[in-house]
Structure 1
Amino acid sequence: MGALSETEAVLSSYLAHLAVERGLAANTLASYRRDLRRYVEHLRERGRHTFREVGEDDVVAFLDALREGDAEHPALAAGSAARAVSAVRGLHRFALREGAAAHDPAHEVRSPRGLRPLPKAISVEEVERLLAAAGPDGAPLTLRNRALLELLYGTGARISEAVGLAVDDAGPGGDDGPGGQGETAVVRLRGKGGRTRAVPLGRYARRALEAYLTRARPLLAAHGRGTQALFLNARGGRLTRQGAWEVLQAAAERAGLAGVSPHILRHSFATHLLDGGVDVRVVQELLGHASVTTTQVYTQVTVDRLREVYAAARPRVRR
């Protein structure tokens, strides 16, 4: 494989990751594709033919080029440049995680100040509608779908972490949960960088997981070859990220919710905890963020929500 085709292969994989796991809207994905193809061309012109060769100065030069424009591209506004930088940073994190790079040269490069997009979240009522739309009552796949959706929302797990779980990763359990009597039920999630964290399971998630483990998983496992994966597909094999994404999309469609992705469920988990008064450092641990700075963006979301509620109650108050 040539150097340029190797770079394009990583880019293609990253765009597929954005479409499946992150569930980006078609227009957003098209913008990312356009920005990143321009970035790869920028690297080629600077003699960088693999991600291993890219340095921070290459990334900064690209940001400068976006803001200055050239004969083929008009100068981008700060908001569009921020989107492009976000896309580039995501691409480099992906390349590092996939072994296509030895370091992340974009780690310290920041978007233009004040333009970092805030996470989206759906309301508690919308979450309840989503969970209620898992499928026909009692069917094995419905029990699995309900357990998966309850776990995604109830733990803030990334979709890759959820489908990567083994049966032994869920437990011990509470009185009505998997794995034991009278103990706190937890799931052990394996996150970025190989870090493992234990996240407590709430009552609803415990019950959904218990129902799946006792009434559905044995039936699904009978079709497979003895995998220890927690979530199984209809053939008894491990449920894939694509399969889990389709479960969520089908439930969202039945619930009449648009644009719901695994990432939005994770955002909703964090936002609802902070709305309920949970300390940001606790949320940091639950999400598996290496730095509390990453988590603090959610505190701005809750402040914005307070402003909305206050303005609705007192419409003449200046915001």
Structure 2
Amino acid sequence: MWLATHPSWAESTRARNRSVLDNHVLPVWGKVPLSRVTFEGVQGWVSDLQRAGLAAATVRKVAGVLSSVLRYAVKSKRLVVNPAEGISLPSQKLTPRRYLDARQVEGLAEAAGEHGRDVVLVLAYCGLRIGELSALRARNVLLLRRRLTIEESVTEVNGRLAWSSPKDHQRRSVPFPSFLAESLARRVDGLDKEDLVFGSPQGGVLRVRNMRRGWFDAAAEDAGLTGLTPHELRHTAASMAVSAGASVLALQRMLGHEKPSVTLDVYSDLFDEDLDTVADRLTDARSRILADSVRTGEVATFPQMRATGP
């Protein structure tokens, strides 16, 4: 019933949650009456998962699925409270996010060869998700406006392709730099409007696992970027956009996040330099006031600061 109440889930999300249920939740809780699910029992189960060696991120995901099922039970009046509410979860170790600079992107594009060069550059300078790039059709490339319209995404789920709207259902228009115009024009030349722009070398849909196995991982190693993932090129696009002066709102629209707050949560580190810029501008503003006062002979007065305690 819980699965059926989320019709907007992407097929990949549904498959992932179904897998969590089948492999972790139902073997333990499937035959337990709701009235016998207790806070202590859920907390002990979470601790058992951690002791069994599951990564902290996996434990948090598994516990989140059970909690969501129990939350549905509360909404449907089968439980008064959610017994998984407030349980202690293992801390997730945060790994530093990797951002490439323009020189590293060029090195990776060169190592990717003729077929992979455009893929690398579009991912690194436009911030598309790999599923969005794979689903890009000729009609989505607006050469005169220098825009890519993102309307679809494609993901491999259990060996087959699942087509959907973009994540968070955020259809959007993404600008591409002028240096990509010529290569994109060559790619769409002669294509029907529904043809895919970035297909596999064999002519099918570009699948991320095949792409990594076929050329991406080798190109990353050749470029001195061992372990790089295609999704890290999306992070790189965010970094370069902020360096070029993009605001949080502009970055949100480019990346297709649901809200600017999501963008700021994910990429808050990219805006740290903005704090220094604000401080510098405040210093400049005060200096201008003082300079104007000296030039005009006026005395600039400022309220005296009073000590109000430690």
The TM-score by the shorter chain falls in which range?
0.5 to 0.7
Measure how far apart 1:279 and its partner are.
0.6
Closer, same or farther in 2 for the Cα pair 1:87/1:157, shift >3 Å? farther
Match of 2:141?
170
Match of 2:254?
286
1:206 equivalent in alignment to 2:181 = yes
| Contact 2:150–2:173 (CA under 8 A) maintained in structure 1 | yes
Q: Which of the residues 184, 187, 199 maps onto 1:232?
A: 199
For residues 116 and 253 of structure 2, the distance between their equivalents in structure 1, rounded to whole angstroms, comes to 26
Measure how far apart 1:165 and its partner are.
0.8
Closer, same or farther in 2 for the Cα pair 1:232/1:58, shift >3 Å? farther
| Contact 2:59–2:90 (CA under 8 A) maintained in structure 1 | no
Name structure 1 gaps, 5 residues minimum. 1-9, 16-32, 94-104, 136-141, 174-182, 308-319
| Contact 1:227–1:238 (CA under 8 A) maintained in structure 2 | no
Match of 1:45?
28
Measure how far apart 1:226 and its partner are.
10
Aligned length: 231
Q: Which of the residues 197, 214, 225 maps onto 1:257?
A: 225
SS in 2 for 1:198: strand
SS in 1 for 2:174: strand
1:158 equivalent in alignment to 2:133 = no
Measure how far apart 1:273 and its partner are.
1.6
- Listed one character per residue, the Cα deviations across residues 169-199 of structure 1 (whole Å, up to 9, x for unaligned) are 111x2xxxxxxxxx43111113114431110
| Contact 2:123–2:233 (CA under 8 A) maintained in structure 1 | yes
Match of 1:197?
172
Match of 2:120?
149
For residues 230 and 39 of structure 2, the distance between their equivalents in structure 1, rounded to whole angstroms, comes to 29
Match of 2:146?
185
The alignment's C-alpha RMSD in Å is 4.8
For residues 210 and 165 of structure 1, the distance between their equivalents in structure 2, rounded to whole angstroms, comes to 14
**Paired AA for residue 24 in structure 2:** E
TM-score normalised by structure 2 residue count: 0.57
For residues 90 and 269 of structure 1, the distance between their equivalents in structure 2, rounded to whole angstroms, comes to 32
1:132 equivalent in alignment to 2:113 = no
For residues 66 and 177 of structure 2, the distance between their equivalents in structure 1, rounded to whole angstroms, comes to 34
Closer, same or farther in 2 for the Cα pair 1:266/1:88, shift >3 Å? farther
**Paired AA for residue 276 in structure 1:** A
Measure how far apart 1:306 and its partner are.
9.9
Closer, same or farther in 2 for the Cα pair 1:90/1:163, shift >3 Å? farther
For residues 250 and 154 of structure 1, the distance between their equivalents in structure 2, rounded to whole angstroms, comes to 21
Measure how far apart 1:203 and its partner are.
1.9
Match of 1:303?
272
- Listed one character per residue, the Cα deviations across residues 49-105 of structure 1 (whole Å, up to 9, x for unaligned) are 9xxxx9xx999975x4476x35x864999xx64563257669999xxxxxxxxxxx9
| Contact 2:148–2:176 (CA under 8 A) maintained in structure 1 | yes
SS in 1 for 2:112: coil
Measure how far apart 1:130 and its partner are.
0.7
SS in 2 for 1:187: strand
**Paired AA for residue 192 in structure 1:** K
SS in 1 for 2:172: strand
Closer, same or farther in 2 for the Cα pair 1:158/1:60, shift >3 Å? farther
Match of 1:20?
none
SS in 2 for 1:133: helix
Match of 1:139?
none
TM-score normalised by structure 1 residue count: 0.56
Closer, same or farther in 2 for the Cα pair 1:300/1:60, shift >3 Å? farther
